[in-house]
Amino acid sequence: MDQEETEKLPRIVIIGGGFGGLLAAKKLGRVKARVTVLDKTNHHLFQPLLYQVATASLAPSDIAAAIRHVLRNQANTSVELAEVREIDVNARIVKCADPSRLKQDFEVPYDYLIVACGTRHSYFAHPEWEKLAPGLKAVEDALEIRRRFLLAFEEADRAATPDERDAWLTFVIVGAGPTGCELAGVMQEIAHGMRRDFRHVDTRDTAVILLEAGSRILPAFPEPLAARASRDLTELRVDVRTSSAVTRIEPDAVYVGDHKIRTRSVFWAAGNVASPVSKSLGVPLTRTGQVIVERDLSIPGHPNVFVIGDLAHALQKNGQPAPGVAQVAMQEGRVAARNIIATIERRPRSDFNYFNKGDLATIGRGKAIANLFGGKIQVGGRLAWFLWLGIHITYLIGFRNRLSVLLQWAYAYFTYQRGARLITETARSAVK
């Protein structure tokens, strides 16, 4: 195909190389069109395992893959490093900045657009808390949490007083969804595994406190499974506190109402807010900034623009919004790509109907819960843990990543040791 024919092909732009955006790009790999993937990083991140980077169980390279490498065999697809600032739906232009700041802002025109740029942490009108309580969305977040977590034991080992030592050995996690519960359980396991590494402190004295504003942990799971997870956390010596909304965070304390918890380490796993890019679409948004999409995942008034993943407020058949999980993003990415293909080929579009394969959460070594096929199968314990292991290995991109993670998990299982306990500097400074 010569240059003139290529210029006549439809331009499809995908913003975001996460689960939904990457699957959409793969689906469009054989279409007669020019596909461009825009992302502010050069890698696809397997977010469900990001907490294991934060807790020194895995290295970032174990759960990430270069987007260009993943799409290298798609001749119609190009990848560009870009930080999207705004979308002009009337002019059909995506306004971008270069993340490296080495070149000027630029624009990318499109005929069809898939917006899959996800969400960030929500601190509920307290943006000042972010420096004190990092969340977990990107590799940089995980490395910062890992650094603070490991540094706390170093500080505890040389603490001058028992009170100072206890503050460094107390970790508070805000939010008891899957990420919060997984962080809490693994942190206690790691602390126990380091008991012989320090001379002046017993890491088994570590206190992990899990705070949840709601009446129970893991609200997306059936109550019996959530109760089992709570018991598992308690067995791991995690202090689970429900109906405990955080009211203030300071460098050396967290407050629940007037109750003060002395700690030097707070990690955030509560609440999300949509990317500010959603505001530039000029369509109705939810309170958290999600885009209210049509049944085919397009936005009102612009059938050539699709929004998927955590950024989309897509209703299920029961009238409830689809949850912000990877399987939803992947199914939405597939539907959006199919609808673009159908439009190009002048065929009817299809609606998005979410099929819930199930939800899993791991609590610790041999401890997990699984709610499969809409609650038809509910299991906990070691069987659920092996299901969790198998599914996450399967969905990792690349044979190298699967093999590396499998070996790391086997090493940790048989030796009770973690292989990535490195304290590294990041762009953020520690709060002391």
91-137 pLDDT tens trace: 999 999 988 777 789 999 999 999 999 888 889 989 999 999 999 99
Same domain, 133 and 259: yes
Same domain, 239 and 363: yes
Per-residue model confidence (pLDDT) at position 2? 65
User: Which structural domain, as residue segments, surrounds residue 104?
Assistant: 3-40+82-121+272-344
The number of C-alpha atoms within 13 Å of 30 and in the hemisphere containing its C-beta is 2
**Does 60 fall in a domain?**
no
**Does 410 fall in a domain?**
yes
Same domain, 113 and 150: no
Same domain, 197 and 323: no
pLDDT in tens, 251-290: 999 999 999 999 999 999 998 888 899 999 999 999 989 9
Same domain, 233 and 154: yes
Regarding predicted confidence, which is higher, 25 or 60? 25
Same domain, 115 and 138: no
Residue at which a domain ends, from 309, 344, 379: 344
Per-residue model confidence (pLDDT) at position 178? 94
Per-residue model confidence (pLDDT) at position 67? 97
- CATH code of the domain in which 257 resides: 3.50.50.100
Please count the structural domains in the chain.
2
**Does 23 fall in a domain?**
yes
Residue at which a domain ends, from 317, 344, 371: 344
Residue 374 has pLDDT above 90, yes or no: no
**Does 423 fall in a domain?**
no
Q: Report yes or no: 248 and 259 within 8 Å, Cβ to Cβ.
A: no
Per-residue model confidence (pLDDT) at position 429? 45
The residues near 149 (Cβ < 8 Å, ≥ 6 apart) are 54, 55, 56, 171, 187, 265
Residue linked to tokens 């590494």: 197
The residues near 269 (Cβ < 8 Å, ≥ 6 apart) are 135, 136, 173, 174, 175, 176, 177, 179, 180, 183
Same domain, 35 and 95: yes
**Does 68 fall in a domain?**
no
* pTM score: 0.90
Same domain, 96 and 233: no
Same domain, 131 and 227: yes
Same domain, 169 and 198: yes
Any idea what DSSP says for residue 370? E
**Does 58 fall in a domain?**
no
Helix or strand or coil: residue 269? coil
Per-residue model confidence (pLDDT) at position 431? 43
Same domain, 243 and 303: no
**Does 57 fall in a domain?**
no
Q: What is the CA radius of gyration of the chain?
A: 23
Same domain, 240 and 290: no
**Does 177 fall in a domain?**
yes
- CATH code of the domain in which 98 resides: 3.50.50.60
Active-site residue set: 182
The residues near 224 (Cβ < 8 Å, ≥ 6 apart) are 378
Mean model confidence pLDDT for the chain? 92
174 to each of 52, 152, 157, 242, how far by Cα in Å?
17, 18, 25, 11
Tokens of 269: 């796993």
pLDDT in tens, 385-425: 999 999 989 888 876 788 888 888 877 766 666 666 777 76
